[in-house]
Amino acid sequence: MSIHFDAKARTLTLNTAHTTYQMQIAEPGHLLHLYYGSRAEGCLDYLYLPHDCGFSPNPYERHTERGWSLDTLPQEYSGSNGGDYRLPSLALSTDSGVVGAELRYVSHTIEEGKYALSSLPTAWDRGGEAQTLTVTLRDEAAGLTVELLYGVYEEQDVITRAVRLINSGSQTIRLERAASACLDLPFGRWDMLHFHGRHTLERQSERRELMVGTQGIGSRRGTSSHQHNPFLILCEHDATEDHGDCCGAMLVYSGSFAMEVERDQMDSVRLVAGIADEGFSWQLLPGALFETPELLLSFTDSGLTALSQRFQRFLRRNICRGPWAERPRPVLLNSWEAAYFDIDAERIRSIARGAADLGVDLLVMDDGWFGERCDDHRALGDWTVNPQKFPAGLGAVIDEIRDMGLSFGLWVEPEMVSEDSALYRAHPDWALRVPGRAPTLGRDQLVLDLSRAEVEDFVYETVASLLRAYPIAYIKWDMNRSLSDVASRALPPERQGETAHRYLLGLYRVMDRLTREFPEVLFEGCSGGGGRFDAGILAYFPQIWCSDNTDPIARLSIQEGTSFAYPYSAIAAHVSASPNHQTGRQTPLGTRGFVAATGAFGYELDPGRLTETERDEIRAQIAAWREREPLLRAGEHYRLSAPEEPYCAWQFVAADQSETLFTLVMRRVESNPRPLHLRLKGLDAEACYEIVQQETAGCALAVPDMSGTVLPGSALLRGGVTLPPLYGDYPGIRLLLRKQ
């Protein structure tokens, strides 16, 4: 049993293979959090000595115990307006004047299998590998029942958390904050590692020691955003890739979020994560239920790499689902950087012929194929094929492309509407818009109000009708603006604070319906690249366009930051033209291939502009990627370099340690360089490994070939490997090693 109740100590303990999570039911019913960390035995309440901390009040029933305060003890799910002045998990009010939340234990249940939420995506249980703990709390004054949900994945070392809020009283409850989880870490010196950025520069890692006070990350944009990813790590101050305590937290949510961390007066650290408060409120009517997004937690004492690998495995195995979750992905070529809006039947046929000649599997037609779409000012919402561009119809073109040996994919942006469109002229009330105010436009478009059932049905039918009408193998689902003017014509004024969350609920329902009806279609998420790169999207779409920035040197930090939590099988990465369309940088084709061929691999260029030498090189890239795809999709990933190094290096190791692929790309080349010395990771120390293949890219000087060299695993792990200097414009080297 991974969940255990000790009636004498009144503790609930959640054990995974390497961690322990423990809470205690204290008198008169407060639920205290005792511990989350490496595996430990017994009751850990001895850690919390009575301490009278000035201006930290005491519950009424324990008012004579000055050393017992909710303001200093670790809480499992913090209330508000009740003497704990730290970050609250729950805030509410009622018509009778109840303000804040005071929660007391009622009961708990332990069940086999994993809980599910009725309205939101969650991790799933593959064959009875999880257990569920439900702890029921109650606020009597408000008439609110709170169910704390815990999913325990013992072998994966992951604990999931979510909350159900049920109005079991007779008055309306107004939720003003409803966090998914609270986690108190009372001891230790902690850093926060998070992943920030902007459009075309997503998930840049930043690490800083926690200050006394509150800091955090989040999004007010209606999406998880390019600016902050809904994932952070709390790690020991001296933790590295290979050692130290690290705790990761990830929201399975794609909308506005907040992850706040407070280091309080006693140096205790509290994390509260969930839907962002700003713009959020929810009227919970008698008998109604509200569910919070799920939070994934994992802890390790073995450093950042071990934590990343746990999240990567868990997302690949227990978040992604459907036939494509573990299926080899097709090599695709997308038309966007080849043609932009200048797309028609002849142009796409020409691109397809070039793609087929290269050995590509899938041709994707991006924006510009529908309605009066000739630029980004018009026609979103009018999802009918443009007859001038496709006089014989789209079906005829798809048939020709399939006859070339290619599958066909299509770009859509169904959550959006242009003012200049037939859809908007017919249904102006379907767009999010504040009454009486001119709307804010992003990319000259508005956002459809997916909180409305008729709009939800329209978006679903838009995509479903295309998939029913044509043999489409892939859909790229884009979303090219942040939400603003968030107001729904279908909700009364007092419920406008529900609009943004209801939008997400509608979106998830659409995605669920489509992926169930069309399980063989490969869906790729996109929001201007990585603006909605999160576990909520991955629960429906197994891969996401990592960034609109296809520059390989910029992609090094983008993909590396993404790898702290997300598997490379979910990271869509393409080789694009040089000079790059976003940065103007020129990089060798081989280097572009090294960087892109770590994730869901493809191309973003016009094959007609390639030289024959480039075509041959691309054919070789595709052949190599297909051979190594199982290793890249399911192998263990290791980061081998620090951001300040002049190079970026990484490694994939097969689960059985039979082979490894090592890649290094120079960020900058120096005169009189230091030796390139690195230790490999994840290998079998008792075995020997042969370098069976060496590839170089962009090297101005010849590099000695190490192919055929056999080295002990222990030497590679402890002594490492020294590489010759690499000169040229962004050169790189890649080594494939196999166990002897």
What are residue 349's DSSP bridge partners? none
Contact 264, 172 (CB under 8 A): no
Nearest CA to 374 out of 360, 363, 354, 388 is that of 388
As a whole number of angstroms, the distance between CA 696 and CA 457 comes to 51
Q: Please confirm, yes or no, whether 241 is among the known catalytic residues.
A: no
Catalytic residue among 614, 629, 690, 729: 614
Contact 67, 56 (CB under 8 A): no
| Residue 486 burial (10 A CB sphere; 0-12, 13-18, 19+) | buried
To 10 degrees, the CA torsion angle through 520, 126, 112, 109?
-70
φ, ψ (nearest 5 deg) of residue 465: -65, -35
Neighbours of 525 (CB within 10 A): 27
Contact 377, 451 (CB under 8 A): no
As a whole number of angstroms, the distance between CA 177 and CA 592 comes to 45
Q: How does DSSP classify residue 328?
A: P
Tokens of 53: 């901390």
As a whole number of angstroms, the distance between CA 506 and CA 495 comes to 16
As a whole number of angstroms, the distance between CA 83 and CA 181 comes to 19
Per DSSP, the three-state class of 213 is strand
Q: Please confirm, yes or no, whether 614 is among the known catalytic residues.
A: yes
Task: Write the secondary structure of 389-401 as one string of H (helix), E (strand) and C (coil).
Answer: CCCCCHHHHHHHH
Q: Which element (helix H / strand E) includes 176?
A: strand 173-185
As a whole number of angstroms, the distance between CA 35 and CA 481 comes to 41
Phi/psi-derived region of residue 372, left when phi > 0, alpha when psi is between -120 and 50, beta in every other case: alpha
Catalytic residue among 245, 449, 534, 604: 534
As a whole number of angstroms, the distance between CA 733 and CA 591 comes to 9
What are residue 476's DSSP bridge partners? 411, 524
Q: Which residues of 56-90 are buried (b: 16+ CB within 10 A; e: fewer)?
A: bebbeebeeeeebbbbbbbbbbbbbebbbbbbbbb
Q: How does DSSP classify residue 327?
A: S
Contact 593, 575 (CB under 8 A): yes
| Residue 438 burial (10 A CB sphere; 0-12, 13-18, 19+) | exposed
Q: Which element (helix H / strand E) includes 572?
A: strand 571-576
Q: How does DSSP classify residue 438?
A: P
**How many residues are recorded in the chain?**
740
Enumerate residues 6+ apart whose C-beta is below 8 A from 703: 694, 696, 724, 726, 733
Q: Which residues in 27-154 belong to E strands, given as ranges?
A: 30-38, 90-94, 104-112, 130-139, 144-153
CA distances (Å), 474 to each of 87, 601, 634, 668, in order? 44, 14, 22, 37
| Residue 406 burial (10 A CB sphere; 0-12, 13-18, 19+) | buried
CA distances (Å), 143 to each of 137, 140, 165, 286, in order? 11, 5, 11, 9
What are residue 393's DSSP bridge partners? none
Residues with catalytic roles: 534, 614
